[in-house]
Amino acid sequence: MKQKAIIILLLMSISSCCNNPNTSSHFGNCTEIAITPPLALTIEELVADYDTIRLEASDKSLITGILQIHSMNDKLYITDSSLSVIFIFSKQGKYLSKISNQGSGPKEYIRIGSFETDEANNRLLLTDSFSKRLFEYDENGKLLKVIPLSFIPNLIASDKSKRYIHVNSTSKDKNDRKDILNNNIHIINEKGEVTETFLKDATPNRIDIRTACATSYTEDKELLYMPILSNTIFRIHNSEAIPEYSFKNLSGRKTVTAQEKKELYFEYNDNNIEQAEKDGYLISCGSFLSSDSLVFLDLGWNTLLYTYYSKTNNASITINPNNLQGNKGLCETFSAHPKAIEDNSLYISIPVEQAAYVLPLLPTGNKLRFFFENTNENDNPYIISYQLNTKLFSN
C-alpha cells in the first residue's frame, strides 16, 4: 500500500447530460466533476510555471518533515510530521512563529490530532484526542482559549458563523457515542458539547484511515466536507449538508455500488480495499483540495489518478502521476501529492534527500536545478507552488 495514502474514497457514477466528457454539469447548485481516462502528457505540458520557497532553517524552525500545509493571510502553516509543532512562515519562507505547547499542563496538548486554519475568522483550531480538548489560536499562534470536549475528537473546523464543526475523518473506534458514529457532522458549543448532528454515515464497517484534507471552504467561507468513501463534497449550511460537487466516473473503471460500499473495510492487518481495486473498481485514497479557481482530487489506491477541475473553464482533466513523460527529474518532483491550494496554485513539499536525488536528472539551465544546487543537508524541506497549463482545460 502506498505510504502517502491517507484516505479511502470511492467514486460513484452519476448519470450525466454532458456531451463533452471533460465538461462538468450543474444540477441545481451541485457541480458534477468528470473523472476521465488519464491523459498522456509530458510534465512540460502539464505544469505552466512554478515558484520555489526555501523555509528558513534555524534552531527555532527546524522541521522533521511536512505532514500538512495550510495557507492563510500570506502565511504558511506547516504541521510537523512529529505531530508536536505547527510552524508559521511567511510565503517567502521567513520564520515567523510556532505553536509548540506540547505537555500535560492545562494549556498544553499531548499530541496534535488535527490542525485547521479557520479562514472565515482568521484563527487556528487544533485538537488533542488524548486530552479530549480543542485549542484555539489567533493567526499568529497566540493561544486564545482551551475547550474541554465531551468526546474524543477527529477534526474540528469552523465557518463564517464562527461555530465549531466536528467532522468524522479517521478511525471509528475512537468513539462509542452513536450520535457521532452514525452521523458525519457534529455541531459543538462553547462548552465542548455536541448540540446537533447530521449527514448520516454511509460506511458501517471499520475504516482505519486518517483523512488529511477532508475540509475546505467555499468562496463565501462556508465549510466544504467530503466524508470517507463518499462520492460527494458537501457544503455545510446551517443544519444541512448540501451537495456542492459530485463525481461522474468516466475513467473506464467500475463504479462501486452503495451496497458494495457498505461491505468495504480497512483495519490494521486486514482490508478488502486493495482487492476491490485489483478487481477494476475506482477507489481513491486521496482527499480533496478546493480554491476559488480549482478543485483537486487524489484518486486510486495503488493505481493513482489525479483529477483537476477548473472552475473557470467548467472542465476537468485526469492524469496518472506515475505515467507522466518528459524530463525525469521534473516528473519525480511534480508527481508529489499536493498538500495545499490557493487560487490556481498547488503546493507540494520536497524533502532535502529527494532534492539531492533529482538534481542530476534536471535539465541544464533549469531554474529548479539552480535552486537545488544551492541547498545543503541542514535545510528544511522545500516547498514548490505550481500552476497548471490552462490550455489543457479548454482543449
Residue type, 10: L
Question: What DSSP string runs through 331-384?
Answer: HHHHTSPP-EEETTEEEEEE-HHHHHHHGGGSPTT-HHHHHHHT--TTSPPEEE
Burial class (CB in 10 A: 0-12, 13-18, 19+), 28: exposed
pLDDT at 176: 65
**Local structure of 83: helix, strand or coil:** coil
Query: From CA 315, how far away is CA 335, in angstroms rounded?
Result: 21
The pLDDT tens digits of the residues spanning 358-391 come to 999 999 999 999 999 988 889 999 999 999 999 9
pTM: 0.90
CB burial of residue 354 (10 Å; 0-12, 13-18, 19+) = middle
Tens-place pLDDT, residues 112-158: 999 999 999 999 999 999 999 999 999 999 999 999 999 999 999 99
Higher pLDDT, 181 or 13: 181
Q: How high is the pLDDT of residue 300?
A: 84
- The string of pLDDT tens digits covering residues 249-261 is 999 999 888 899 8
The whole-chain average pLDDT of the chain stands at: 89
Q: How would residue 178 be classed by pLDDT, with cut points 50, 70 and 90?
A: confident
**pLDDT score at 212:** 67
pLDDT of residue 375: 86
The model's confidence at residue 25, banded by pLDDT at 50, 70 and 90, is low
In the predicted structure, residue 341 carries a pLDDT above the cut 90: yes
pLDDT, one tens digit per residue, over 56-108 is 999 999 999 999 999 999 999 999 999 999 999 999 999 999 999 999 999 99
Q: Which of 267, 269, 259 is nearest to 173 (CA)?
A: 267
Give the single-character DSSP code of 58: S
Say which residue, 346 or 5, is predicted with more confidence.
Answer: 346
Helices and strands (H and E) in the chain: how many? 8, 30
**What average pLDDT does this structure show over 239-245?**
96
pLDDT tens-place string over residues 262-317:
999 998 889 999 999 999 999 876 589 999 999 999 888 888 899 999 999 999 99
